[in-house]
Structure 1
Amino acid sequence: MHAHEQEKDVVARFRPVLQQLFTNVNPSRQKNLASSIIDPLVNTSYGFELIRTLDQFLADNMNVSRAAKHLYLHRNTLIYRLSKIQNLTGLDPRNFEEAMGLKLALLMWQHNNKEQAANAKLRRVSNGV
């Protein structure tokens, strides 16, 4: 099963939990929480690359080698980007608990910023990244 298919499967299994989380959080609070974590990534000149990097790294179960392969990056480049994500957000994507926070924030950000999130995915397809 491809990583993207695995992620869809995981999201499908946890959709009720995620919907419950998203439903029970005030929308403006949800947006503020997601923005406080994800906006520092977006607001850089290479923001969408960091978003795609984070998204793929998490989709690949925090496996650096696999994520680097899927992103067509050298492993060290991915590690550098993960460090940038940590520096900008204060959360280490290589730490499971912190990665969970990043994943939830990313999901909320994608939910609240559908157009920007779609642009990031389109860039990933068009750039082959």
Structure 2
Amino acid sequence: MNTSDTHNQRMAKMTFASVYPMYVAKVEKKGRTIQELHQVISWLTGFDDQMLQELIMEKVTFEAFFQQATLNPNAQLITGTICGYRIEEIENTLTRQVRYLDKLVDELAKGKKMDKILRG
């Protein structure tokens, strides 16, 4: 799937710190914890809690966030639709990575078991 250049640029320039509180609110509203959210983010990116906090404080863009990440080799197993896009069909690498994260947060909020979310 081809996303527009404008869409891809908007994703790249968005800061992780601006979206993180929404992730927290979404999972907590559904009875999940920040620790579980961090576990999911860590699985995808390789970031520990300290690094995650540094990235939030630095207000890094998603572009910088994923440049510093060590993406989990099983990330390509994250499939399905998110925000109207089929993840496995998104051609722009960064946009696909952001949608991976969105999908994992959605699965966490929907009560999926952690071993399923982490493709274990």
The alignment's TM-score, normalised by the length of structure 2, stands at 0.30
Structure number with the bigger relative contact order (C-alpha 8 A, sep ≥ 6) is 2
TM-score (norm 1): 0.28
- The structure with more helix, counted as a fraction of residues: 1
